[in-house]
Amino acid sequence: MGGVIQLSEQGRALFTKEELAARVKVPAIVEQDLKRIISDRLEQCGLYFRVFSRIKTAASMAHKFELKDYGNGGGKLQDLVGVRVNLYFDDDVDICRNIMENTFDVLGWSTSERSEEEFKPTKLNGVCRLPEYLRSEISPDTWDMYIDDTFEIQIKTMFFEGWHEIEHDMRYKGEELWKDYKGFSRYFNSILATLELCDKSMVTLFEDLGHSLYKSGRWSDMIKSHFRLKLGEASLYPEVEQLLNEDLEQVDNLAKRIYKTKKPVLVEQLLRRSRKIPINVNTIIALLNDSQFHDSRLTAIFKERDVYNDGREESVAESRHYEMKPLTRHNVFQMKTQIDGSRMKEDHPVSASEIFERSAAVIYQWIVQKYGGLFKNMPQEVSTYHADILAYHVAVNYNPKEQRMNMHVRHMDLDVGGRIWYSESCLEVGEDDRVFLKVCNGYAEPEKEQRTVQDTGAMFFSYPGYYKMIVDSVGIFNGIDCANRRRILREEQFPQMERALKDPERAFPLVVIISREAPDGMMDEEWLGQFRVSDFTRTVWRYAHVFTCYEKTGRKLLELAGREAKDACQIPRLYIFWPDGDVDDYGPEDVQNCSFGRHLEARGDARTYDIVRGGQAFYHKIVTDLRDWNVSSDLWEGFKLEILTEIPG
């Protein structure tokens, strides 16, 4: 649904990151398919390359709208999706450009401009039209917001890949660094000039090496050095080698003609094949003979050898037998909670029916936004709906008469083979006219035979978007009202706290931070170091309650909870009252001595860690403990069906 576009006084389109996040939805399949298409084409011709991609974040888009003249008199944002191709050889840039022009509808190219007195990293930027089938996957609102149905592709060499990050941050964004320091700026340029020389020299080196190998009669090595493609291990056919040796008597001999052939000519022939063929010294000569030389002797040899199938590797499906293994489920978030409607902005008390209908609509619209591009016949309004496309599945049972809604969705992980992600929920109105939501988010995959580090659900901890929207815009009650701001506990709240501590339905851990009073009357939270209570609250408030209190109030609360702190040195403390009745407590020494290994990346077998200490480490420890409890507790294990095609009504 289109909206009114806000324009600044200068006629620029202005959007907040919240507006962009809500209206611009780009499924991962768009980015992944573009990356796959480009990679397949480059692999088909044997280039040395690496491909990276990204979808522009809402914050990045908002920032760009502030900087650029997008509006009534200007253009549109054209890099909603970006793909970067890093090449290993400088002369492959033009080859890659031609491949992209024959693969996509390219609207234009631009390159970094340089004067004779200045060096800049060389990169080629292209703007291409999105394939129609991928355009249709993106939310329709996107095209109402001065965003073009295009993607950007950057092509540059590996030498300049790392350099570009430095140049962008330290020169383009850091001009003040160089002001009044021209000597350092020239030194900076000289390093860049050296990198440019390395790019050119690398190609020259292999060309000169290829010429020397040609003069030495080392035909296979000459081909590898001259064309610089990823070649298979096949050896040159003996009869071809003999023919090349004998033909040296001719002025325009076959070996010389191979060496004189330019790399783009060979790449063009590789791309013309209807399917990918093995790239080796034999197929290279065969391709050049078919298109350039037309030598009958070579034709006879290659026909006898069936050269384009000789050395073709079987696909994984052809050569490998897969043992089917059952999938094991791993929760990454679960919850059972009451929805109380406390955040619904209505001018009258909201009923259970209104809360149910609003929550059902939130869940269903999340499903439509996530899976609607795959299932074109999916109704836009809340309804019962079942559909399957290969590894994608949606099942919704909606019964407004009995005020119950069950749903299960799942899809494959585009990065990790064999992994399936799922989300399940049950929404219903109970006999006491209270509305309850049960959620289970997770993934399933075959058990790994060898596992050096045990994967945990907390490593991938994430609640589904519909749960977040219900908590934020409808409101939930879990033993205590939820709040995303820090709360100071007062004695008049003790009855509520006592009920929460004893509530068997409470699924939120209750974190209480007790601090001494500073001379200025404020809480002295220096003992927590870099543990910022407000940041901590905003991080965990959708699955844990956080309260702070002064020492006097805290001691009374502990007495109420049967954990009186008798010795004054026991304050300050941090307590976690778990829903199952256990209690953890920590003091200043626990904060000071804490160290924590953060997972910066956890995808497949790639893991990167960062060790932090003190308050910062304590923050991560407590957050991780809360998440570990959530994914491992028995809150709600979903429908417990290994293969789910329909959901019990």
Q: Which tens digits make up the pLDDT trace of 549-574?
A: 999 999 999 988 887 655 546 899 99
Rg (CA), the chain: 32
Q: Are 77 and 20 in contact (CB under 8 A)?
A: no
pLDDT of amino acid 451: 46
Q: In what helix (H) or strand (E) does residue 64 lie, and over which residues does it extend?
A: helix 58-67
| pLDDT score of 544 | 96
Is residue 179 pLDDT above 70, yes or no? no
What pLDDT shows up at residue 1?
38
Residue 317 has pLDDT above 50, yes or no: no
Instruction: Using the predicted structure, report yes or no on whether residue 452 has a pLDDT greater than 60.
Output: no
pLDDT digits (tens, 9 = 90+) for 67-110: 888 876 668 999 999 999 999 998 999 999 999 999 999 999 99
Q: Are 614 and 530 in contact (CB under 8 A)?
A: yes
Average pLDDT of span 518-526: 92
Is the pLDDT assigned to residue 37 strictly greater than 50? yes
Q: What is the pLDDT of residues 582-634, one digit of tens each?
A: 999 999 999 999 887 655 544 444 444 456 789 999 999 999 999 999 998 88
Residues 6 or more apart in contact with residue 30 via CB below 8 angstroms: 55, 81, 130, 134, 137, 138
**Residues sharing a CB contact under 8 Å with residue 200, sequence separation 6 or more, in sequence order:** 90
Which residues lie across from 599 on neighbouring strands? 609
pLDDT(645) > 60: no
Residue 598: what pLDDT? 57
Under 8 Å between Cβ of 576 and 617 = no
Residue 136 three-state SS: coil
Q: Which residues pair with 511 in a beta bridge?
A: 546, 576
The amino acid sitting at 337 is: T
Task: Give 238-296 pLDDT, tens digit per residue.
Answer: 999 999 999 998 989 999 999 999 999 999 999 888 778 899 999 999 999 999 999 99
Token pair recorded at residue 267: 């790449």
Q: Is 213 helix (H, G, I), strand (E, B) or coil?
A: helix
Beta strand segments in 213-296, E: none
Chain centroid offset of residue 638 CA:
26
- In what helix (H) or strand (E) does residue 127 lie, and over which residues does it extend? strand 124-129
Residue 577, pLDDT above cutoff 90: yes
Q: Are strands 327-339 and 523-524 parallel, antiparallel or unpaired?
A: unpaired
- Say what the pLDDT of residue 554 is: 93
Rounded to 10 deg, the angle between the 219-227 and 263-272 helix axes is 90
What gap in Å lies between CA 267 and CA 262, rounded to an integer? 9
Strand-pairing partners, residue 408, are 395, 424
Q: Which amino acid is at 467?
A: Y
Answer yes or no: are the C-beta atoms of 409 and 393 closer than 8 Å. yes
- With tokens 């908590």, the residue in question is 471
Q: Residues with Cβ < 8 Å from 144, sequence gap 6 or more?
A: 2, 3, 5, 23
- Please say if the pLDDT value at position 525 is more than 70: yes
DSSP 350-393: PPHHHHHHHHHHHHHHHHHHHHTTT-TT--SSS--EEEEETTEE
- Of 18-27, 106-115, 390-399, the one with minimum mean pLDDT is 106-115
The yes-or-no verdict on residue 111 having pLDDT over 90 is: no
Give the separation between CA 271 and CA 264, rounded to whole angstroms. 10
Which of helix, strand or coil describes residue 276? Answer: coil
Contacts within 8 Å (CB) and 24+ apart, 396-403 = 396/364, 396/367, 396/647, 397/646, 397/647, 397/648, 397/649, 398/360, 398/364, 399/649, 400/357, 400/360, 403/352, 403/353, 403/356, 403/428, 403/429
Half-sphere exposure in the Cβ direction for 456 (13 Å, CA): 13
Question: Which residue matches tokens 């209206």?
Answer: 23
pLDDT of residue 170: 62
**Residue % of the chain over a pLDDT of 70:** 82
Residue 604: per-residue pLDDT: 44
pLDDT score of 239: 96
pLDDT the model gives residue 165 = 59
Residues 6+ apart with CB under 8 A from 309: none
Mean pLDDT computed over 163-180:
59
Q: What is the pLDDT of residues 467-483, one digit of tens each?
A: 999 999 999 999 999 99
Cis amide leading into 579 (omega within 30): no
Secondary element (H or E) of residue 219: helix 219-227
308 has a pLDDT exceeding 70: yes
- CA-closest candidate to residue 255, choices 279, 288, 231, 232: 288
Amino acid letter, 358: R
DSSP three-state, residue 574 = strand
Mean pLDDT of the chain: 85
Tell me how far apart the terminal alpha carbons of the chain are, to the nearest angstrom.
32
Tell me the two tokens of residue 397. Answer: 């049972």
For residues 536-559, average pLDDT: 94
Distance CA 394, CA 645 (A): 8
Instruction: Evaluate if residue 442 carries a pLDDT over 50.
Output: yes
